[in-house]
Amino acid sequence: MISDAQGDATAFISAPLALDALGRTVPVSMRLSGNDIIVSLAPAPGQTVAFPVLLDPGAGYGDLTPAERRYCSTNPYDCNKARKDAEKAFAEAAKRYSKKSLYQGTGDAFRHCYWNARMEINIDHDTAYEVATRHESESRGVDKEMDLRNNKIGRKIGRDYRGKSKANHKARDKCISYTKNGKLWIIKSKKLVRSNA
């Protein structure tokens, strides 16, 4: 979190998502050096890393919409958790689905489902709804409708697993099943269709 002279939060910077050449998540660390932010790879002891490593590969959740920024300015802790849930969902989607499906395809549908389920489990319903809905505030048409529908389904899955053992894993598996069985939404030929179409 970056604060102004009065101590009010003005911006949030969380470590970028890093994926190695095999699609595995690589932890990163950040530190301030004067006016610069230094980002370094921080693999776990014994973890092998296949180079090259990409920071924030593909279309992810890096940029906040103005509506998200307004919400996050008064809810920094929850927004940081929401970003971490988004990064986990993005990494899981990139690992399980083809690159071309990560935008408007099955990977995209899964990612939105899993992200929202994680927020329901790890934060709360109101924050999950606010962050996800504000994230779509700049989207239009069937793309927006697809994401909003998959977000809502994911939040329902998260509510079903909140407080249960291995909730995030169970929610992930349920979102995978929903994707495979046509219970989520994707776009084909500019039309909204079920995820198994």
Q: What is the pLDDT of residues 49-86, one digit of tens each?
A: 888 776 654 334 456 788 888 888 788 888 889 989 99
pLDDT of residue 7: 61
Is residue 13 over pLDDT 70? no
Find where tokens 């920094």 sit.
76
- Pull the structure tokens for residue 142: 């069937």
Q: What is the mean pLDDT of residues 125-139?
A: 94
Higher local confidence (pLDDT), 4 or 78: 78
What percentage of the chain reaches a pLDDT higher than 70?
A: 86
Largest CA distance in the chain: 54
Beta bridge partners of 67: none
Q: pTM score, two decimals?
A: 0.72
Contact yes or no for 115/85 (Cβ under 8 A): yes
Does the pLDDT at position 97 exceed 60?
yes
Average pLDDT over residues 92-118: 96
CA–CA dist 150, 93 (Å, integer): 14
Question: Taking 60 as the threshold, does the pLDDT of residue 10 lie above it?
Answer: no
CA atoms of 141 and 14, how far apart (whole Å): 30
With beta carbons less than 8 A apart as the criterion, state whether 187 and 104 touch: yes
Distances (CA, A) of 195 to 75, 113, 185, 191: 33, 12, 5, 12
